[in-house]
Amino acid sequence: METSSLIQVARAEFAPRNTYLNTATCGLLPRRAAEAVKALAEENAVGSTAGSGSFEAVDVVRTAFARLAGVGADRVAIGSSVTGHVGLIAASLPPGAEVLFPEGEFSSVVSSFASRGDLRTRYVPLEALAESVRPDTALVAFSAVQSADGRVADLAAVRAAAAVHGARTLLDATQSAGWLPLDAGAWDYTVTGGFKYLLCPRGVSFLTVTEDAQEALRPLAVGWVAADDRANSLYGPVGRLSTAARRYDDSPVFLAHYGAERSLALLAEVGVEAVYAHNTGLAERLRTGLAALGHKTVPEKSATVAAPGLGSREPELSRAGVLAADRAGNLRVSFHLYNTEADVDRVLDVLAG
């Protein structure tokens, strides 16, 4: 099936009431995901044994994300927030270790390291990230796509520089997974919130850990869900943790995972390459239109368009039924499966007055 047809079929899963251009804040739930959440909630409401949720659904989600990320399911841990995954990684570093970040990086990537007080944190412009890795850099932590303006990092250059200097890498794929191809195996750690471009309910997040990096990452909040034998680890200390990345699992939010199972299936049906072409095509249409109106944009091949200085127009757009975001003074517009060229034209009409 052609890309346009795939997108059109997928779009039937959504029913936005407004011109929704704010996936970088929160993605819309496909109908199939919303129905799965409702069904489990109803089972729970009537006291059905099915209402407590099943780990089978969690493992399906783990496998689906692993496939999207290009790694084996044994390299994926599940949780409920990126902050929790990053905190685990931050706790693993020795005192005095240097962590390198881009300037303006999202708080969830930075704060667990900064709050320790005994690490050296350094911030450089995103475009200088690769050249700023030094022999004493322990970890480079950054987002594949910047939250504030949609800039895409030079992933190959950062990966190469980290390898030269022996630094580990932490990639936040929250603003990219689902539309930008992800090779999680190329990074020591990746963290991904599922509620944006992966179209999952809040309460689903993913951590990937290479086999080598796992040796340095000590589990902190250990529960029976991380045990090698979950069924026989309910009482007393866990005797043996899973040897896979599942050793870092949090207790799953079953309602969210039941929805995530359906959302990730939809993305797999469409394919990330098709989503990439669709999202970036709409973004380019908006950049061209904004330029015709005399507005500058951050020049990126991205699913997000950021127009510096136009963030103050966000309330006006909202009143007109166009939902976007004001981030760091930028008007941030972000595209996904459910958007069309008509959505782009609607933004431009409002901004043109």
- Boundaries of every domain in the chain: 3-29+271-352, 45-269
Q: Looking at domain 45-269, which of 2.50.20.10, 1.10.150.120, 3.40.50.880, 3.40.640.10 is its CATH number?
A: 3.40.640.10
How confident is the model at residue 18, as a pLDDT? Answer: 96
In this structure, the strands spanning 325-327 and 330-334 are: antiparallel
- Mean pLDDT per block of 10 residues along the chain (353 residues) reads 80 96 98 97 90 92 98 98 97 98 98 97 98 98 98 98 98 98 98 98 98 93 93 93 96 97 97 96 98 94 97 97 97 98 98 93
How far apart CA 25 and CA 31 sit, in angstroms, is 19
How confident is the model at residue 299, as a pLDDT? Answer: 84
pLDDT tens for each residue of 213-271: 998 899 998 999 999 999 999 999 999 999 999 999 999 999 999 999 999 999 999 99
How confident is the model at residue 49, as a pLDDT? Answer: 78
**Assigned CATH for 3-29+271-352:** 3.90.1150.10
Output the six-digit token pair for 211: 């086999």
How confident is the model at residue 140, as a pLDDT? Answer: 98
pTM value is 0.96
Q: What is the DSSP string of 151-164?
A: PBP-HHHHHHHHHH
How confident is the model at residue 50, as a pLDDT? Answer: 77
Q: How far is CA 22 from the centre of its chain?
A: 14
Identity of residue 117:
G
Phi, psi dihedrals of residue 112, rounded to the nearest 5° = -65, -35
How far apart CA 310 and CA 139 sit, in angstroms, is 35
Phi, psi dihedrals of residue 120, rounded to the nearest 5° = -95, 120
Q: Is 191:172 a contact under the CB 8 Å cutoff?
A: yes
